[in-house]
Amino acid sequence: AVLPEPREIAAPPARRGPRLLPVALLLLVVVAGYFGLRNRAGDGGEGRPEPIAAEQGGGTPPAGLPEPEPAEPATPAGTLAWEFRAGAAVTSSPLVAGDLVLFGSRDGKLYALDRKTGARVWTASGPGGIGSSPAAGGGAIYFGEYGGALVAVSDKDGREIWRRPTAGRIVSSPFYHEGRLYVGSFDRHLYAIGAESGAVLWRRQTGGVIWASPVVSGDLVLFGSWDGSVYALRSADGGVVWRRETGDRVYSSPVVLGDEVYIGTQGGALLRLDRATGSVVWTSRVGSPVHSRPTIAEDRVLFGSEDGNVHCAYRETGEILWSFPTGARVPSTPRVDRAMVYVASYDEFLYALDLDLGHPAWRTHLGASVYSSPTSYADKLYVGTNQGRFLAVSLGG
């Protein structure tokens, strides 16, 4: 607000002698009487003054009014909110669905926890272990298991609905879209499976293991394979729209924005491809394998590499704007929330980096190396470790 200009204070008039004294005495009596009446009104009943607000300097509320509830202290960012112990490594990345946070473990269980408290709500079975990250849709939770099956369970209690075996291990995370699931297998096939029935709708063979997770964009399913190619298939029938050879195995899952497709390669490159044709728009080489799935944030794309760096590239050209070194490999996918980049490393730390410059704001020791990618929701970040700890970390506020 604009403050008024200070008014010029006129000089007091010259004293005019004793004739002013009766007037002054009369004013003194009136003022004293006024304050006496006001104080008596403040002793109780009508006329009780309002409590002084804290921002006005504090004060004690009058008798008979409830004490104000103290404000909850702000939780410092990076503080552990709660912890849950699974029976083995948690390499599955968490999914937040309603009041639940869900993840798989190599102990053969899918866990559903209360996301606010970490209390276990239910578990489901995945023989051989679960490295796949869960997906949700149609009242069910879907996940792949090392035993080679894609499994659907109720999102209410974890009761198994159906189980669809494949001929190879499933590490790929299923992608749910319009009543269908798309998932890759070590048997070299990408599957389209009906979410309600578990029936195989179609499958497409590639020349290598499908480690990473597919993504659906429009009428295309995009994914990478260990045969060194990135594929775009028609989601309706699995027909090949295009195939882009990279020359290296592809562990990374793609991320798509409009006509832009970003994906990393074992050869140490991040590629931007044209979604419609698969043509290479640019290649950004970082000299170390990129297993991390890229993350798009505004005009930037972020990803980790196996030499321990977190990179931030310009989307338009692929130019590396900054790189932040951690102490070990970074297969984890960076998560962007509130202009901060959150990423976990095999050096056992969770980092919070400034999006603009990559400067570290804080880091939290997680007690074990991390393959799982963190997931943020509300004021918390959820992440699992390779020693079975599953953690909720405060983002502050």
CATH code, domain carrying 131: 2.40.128.630
Looking at the domain assignment, is residue 229 inside a domain?
yes
Q: What is the mean pLDDT of residues 169-191?
A: 98
Q: What is the pTM of this model?
A: 0.81
Q: CA 368 from chain center: how many Å?
A: 20
d(C-alpha 148, C-alpha 127), whole Å: 9
* Residue 222: both structure tokens together: 């995009």
pLDDT digits (tens, 9 = 90+) for 371-390: 999 999 999 999 999 999 99
Looking at the domain assignment, is residue 175 inside a domain?
yes
Query: What's at 190, amino acid-wise?
Result: L
Looking at the domain assignment, is residue 135 inside a domain?
yes
Strands across the sheet containing 109-114: 95-97, 100-104, 109-114, 120-125
* Residue 192: both structure tokens together: 């389209």
pLDDT on residue 73: 53
Left, alpha or beta for 246 (phi > 0: left; psi -120 to 50: alpha)?
alpha
Domain hosting residue 200, numbered range = 126-245
* Residues 249, 228 contacting (CB under 8 angstroms): yes
pLDDT digits (tens, 9 = 90+) for 82-114: 999 999 999 999 999 999 999 999 999 999 999
d(C-alpha 135, C-alpha 198), whole Å: 14
Look-up: residue for tokens 């704001």? 361
Mean residue pLDDT across the chain: 86
Looking at the domain assignment, is residue 285 inside a domain?
no
* Residues 195, 151 contacting (CB under 8 angstroms): no
pLDDT on residue 397: 67
More confident residue, 63 or 160: 160
Is residue 67 pLDDT above 50, yes or no?
A: no
Looking at the domain assignment, is residue 303 inside a domain?
no
Looking at the domain assignment, is residue 213 inside a domain?
yes
Q: Which H or E run includes 40? A: helix 21-41
* Residue 14: both structure tokens together: 């010259």
Looking at the domain assignment, is residue 172 inside a domain?
yes
Cα separations in angstroms, 258 against 40, 236, 243, 254, 350? 73, 20, 19, 13, 30
Return the closest-CA partner of residue 224 out of 181, 262, 281, 193. Answer: 262
Looking at the domain assignment, is residue 194 inside a domain?
yes
Q: How many domains does the chain have?
A: 1
pLDDT digits (tens, 9 = 90+) for 15-58: 333 444 343 433 343 334 433 433 433 333 433 333 222 222 33
